[in-house]
Chains A and B, each alone.
Chain A
Amino acid sequence: GQQVMQIPQYQHVQEGEDFTTYCNSSTTLSNIQWYKQRPGGHPVFLIQLVKSGEVKKQKRLTFQFGEAKKNSSLHITATQTTDVGTYFCAGDQGAQKLVFGQGTRLTINP
């Protein structure tokens, strides 16, 4: 079936280190969205990427969409304790439904 794979499942870093999570789809995506879920909370929309090769930045967060529109990444520079949470990618495979990756849970040692 349609799948969006996300790695790693868990990542533990020291505060100040960088963090990256990767998302791969089995099919070409119309767009990809990224969400953040704080512990005990609900997913909150971060950003959407639409164009092939697109790169967007939000302060210390950099989002990329692959040239083939099948993969994406989220990179956080110099993590802070406020970055703790689970990051999900969600791909639009053209059927009105978003398919979510399994998420990457980020924990940070202060």
Chain B
Amino acid sequence: NAGVTQTPKFQVLKTGQSMTLQCAQDMNHEYMSWYRQDPGMGLRLIHYSVGAGITDQGEVPNGYNVSRSTTEDFPLRLLSAAPSQTSVYFCASRTGTSASYEQYFGPGTRLTVT
């Protein structure tokens, strides 16, 4: 199993550009989520999904869209990049919808918006 994979590893965008961060998992996990990590802020939840076709907002959803058309994939779209979105983005998955299951994280995407 590859686990949770993310592409790209690094990305530089100009303000106003859009892009999609890719996330895929091959563990047949129902639950997938996106976090951003900023210094001193820990991991903050952007969006999450409890299954194909179902998504919901987390703590910091503004400026981001998600969709879940398959169990495996959960892309994160930045609609119009802003410098405040400079961060490290982690995708995670777990086997159940309850938060009592361990989460598996991808390697992360380091995004810089200039």
Q: Which residues of A are in contact with B by a Cβ distance under 8 Å?
A: 1, 6, 9, 30-31, 33, 35, 41-45, 48, 50, 88, 90, 92, 94-103
A1–B98 Cα gap in the complex (Å)? 20
Asked whether A96 lies within 8 Å of B106 as measured between CB atoms, the reply is no
Residue ID in chain A nearest B98 by CB atoms: A96
Residue B26, interface by CB 8 Å: no
Determine which of A42, A45, A95, A101 lies in contact with B90 in the assembled complex, contact meaning CB atoms within 8 Å.
Answer: A42
**Contact string, B88-114, partner A, CB cutoff 8 A, digits 1/0?**
001000000111101111111000000
User: Does A48 lie within 8 Å of B105, measured CB to CB?
Assistant: no
- Sorting the interface of chain B by its residue count into under 10, 10 to 19, 20 to 34 or 35 or more gives 20 to 34
Distance (whole angstroms) from the CB of B31 to the closest CB of chain A: 8
The answer to whether A101 touches B99, judged by C-beta atoms less than 8 angstroms apart, is no
Is the Cβ of B99 less than 8 Å from the Cβ of A98?
yes
Q: Does B53 contact A (CB under 8 A)?
A: no
